[in-house]
Chain A
Amino acid sequence: MQHVTVLLVNRGIIKLLKQPSAPLGGFAMSLFFLVVYNAGIGGVGFLDAFGDGGYLSFVFPIALISLAMGSSAGAGQALHADMQSGYFQRLYLSPAPRWSLVVAPMLADTLSSLVFGALLLAIGALFGVVFQFGWLSVLGIMVLCLLWSVTLCGFSAGVMLRTGQPQSAAIVTNAVFPLLFLSTTFLPRELMTAKWLLAISWGNPVTYVLEGCRYLLAGTSQPIFLLIALGVLSLTALSSVIFALNSASKIRR
């Protein structure tokens, strides 16, 4: 990475440390979901469909997904703050590659998501979440978290650059949020009774991320879902980065 891009990423991280409301909010929301869902529905964990890991391991991926959804606000907010203050124009007049002005806050945000993701995994492990491949499971889940976070950060930054609205992250989150509930979020596919929901879940990319994680955790899913999750998330991450960069190129009138 170029020296100037590293500087801009460092600046983004320092900004996040000074104003950690977005990542802390995402982390708190994830823990809340985990505790509430496990407390409310965890009683069904004895069923075979949930495997040895019980309901906590089954529902754990939703906490990882909602973590990035909460913290991806940071990239859009950081860009918006710089544009509102006018400082973005000064950065724009520096020799920093223009792509790095957009990618740096995304990277800072993604790094913060990974740190909180690792913290969440540690908390999960403490409370009995199963990692069937040990450190390889952890690594695989971190890769999925990375790709999911880049996807959300990129769309959040791109929407902000195009609309100029600080609510860009909320727009992205609101668009993604319904997908969480049109998936195998609370129950495995075999226990879902509504055929329409089953049909939608097949076309929902979140399903593959959840199932991919579940394969790595308690092994309650198939390895093919992990491969599909990696493929789908690589595609969405790439699309979101292209969208963000393309949005940045439109700033110069």
Chain B
Amino acid sequence: MSTAINIESLFKTYPDGTQALKGVNLSVEKGGFFALLGPNGAGKSTLIKLVTTLYKKDEGHLMIDGSDPDIDFKRVQRAIGVASQDNELDPGETVMALLRFQGRLFGLSKTEANKRAEELIDLFDLQPVSDKRTADLSGGNKRRLHCALALVHKPSILFLDEPTVGMDPLARSLFWEVITRLNREEGVTVFLTTQYLEEADKHASDMALIVDGSIHFAGTITGFKQLVHPQDASSLEESYLTYIKTLSPVC
């Protein structure tokens, strides 16, 4: 299987001297469902922002869908879809208008953009709020709209940064149904960060654990569980907590 994301010796230090990434190496297979896990401040957001071209790297190599973002930025932008944990909605626009405009930004004609907006509204069950301004949406609907916006141009890699925060259980279940279908049926590579480890356990097959800017583990979720608890079958959350506690006994 070929690689969707390949990261080698990636370093990033912020202007205030904080070393956010200390030589990260990571590889995500095309069509895979990958979870990046780690405590707060471990470097997850920095890594996502670098991979999605929002930040500049200090050192290292980065290939996204076969392209270097520093060389072929436009190709990378078309290959990736990003549903960030930050609010990225124009509060004055309606759900439908925002989706249409996103389609137009990615080169769709008016008709195509309308059609795609309607498809995504159906897919994410946003019909009841399609004419509402985004400022008036609930937290859960905003998260779903973020994801719909990320998918407008049918990217091959989807970045989901804490995607289900604020969603009720039913909305979460429907959301994961859509995402897993995209992953399995359309071969979209999913790169997920989440603090809901049961979601990563249920949907992802591969993972990496980042702590203090370094990758501590990269491999399958099953492999991680076996590494931490070789004798018992444990959940990802149990294994994760056990591992993190060994690093920092105070926790």
- Shortest Cβ distance from residue A13 to the other chain B in the assembled complex, whole angstroms: 14
- Which residue from chain B places its CB closest to the CB of A90 in the assembled complex? B88
On whether A87 and B90 interact (CB within 8 A), knowing A11-B101, A95-B107, A96-B105, the answer reads yes
* A187→B144 CA distance, assembly (Å): 62
Instruction: Give chain B interface residues in 26-78, CB to chain A under 8 Å.
Output: 52-56, 74, 77-78
* A96→B107 CA distance, assembly (Å): 10
CB pair B78 A252 closer than 8 Å: no
Q: How many residues of B contact A (CB 8 A)?
A: 27
Contacts of A82 in B (CB 8 A): 90
Contacts of B54 in A (CB 8 A): 89, 92-93, 252
* A82→B104 CA distance, assembly (Å): 18
Instruction: Give chain A interface residues in 80-121, CB to chain B under 8 Å.
Output: 82, 85-87, 89-96
Judge if B190 is at the interface, Cβ distance under 8 Å. Answer: no
Q: Chain A at the B interface: mostly helix, strand, loop or mixed? A: helix
* A85→B89 CA distance, assembly (Å): 6
Instruction: Give chain B interface residues in 152-175, CB to chain A under 8 Å.
Output: none
* A90→B148 CA distance, assembly (Å): 12
- Shortest Cβ distance from residue A163 to the other chain B in the assembled complex, whole angstroms: 16
- Which residue from chain A places its CB closest to the CB of B74 in the assembled complex? A95
With a 10 A CB-CB cut-off, give which of B54, B55, B84, B88 has the most chain A CB atoms.
B88
- Shortest Cβ distance from residue B93 to the other chain A in the assembled complex, whole angstroms: 9
Offer 29 A-B interface pairs, CB within 8 angstroms, sorted by A.
A4-B105, A7-B101, A7-B105, A11-B101, A15-B92, A18-B92, A85-B87, A85-B88, A85-B89, A85-B90, A85-B91, A86-B86, A86-B89, A87-B88, A87-B89, A87-B90, A89-B54, A89-B86, A90-B88, A90-B89, A90-B149, A93-B80, A95-B78, A95-B105, A95-B107, A252-B54, A253-B14, A253-B15, A253-B55
What residues of chain A have their CB less than 8 Å away from a CB belonging to chain B? 3-4, 7, 11, 15, 18, 82, 85-87, 89-96, 252-253
What residues of chain B have their CB less than 8 Å away from a CB belonging to chain A? 14-15, 52-56, 74, 77-78, 80, 82, 84, 86-92, 101-102, 104-107, 149
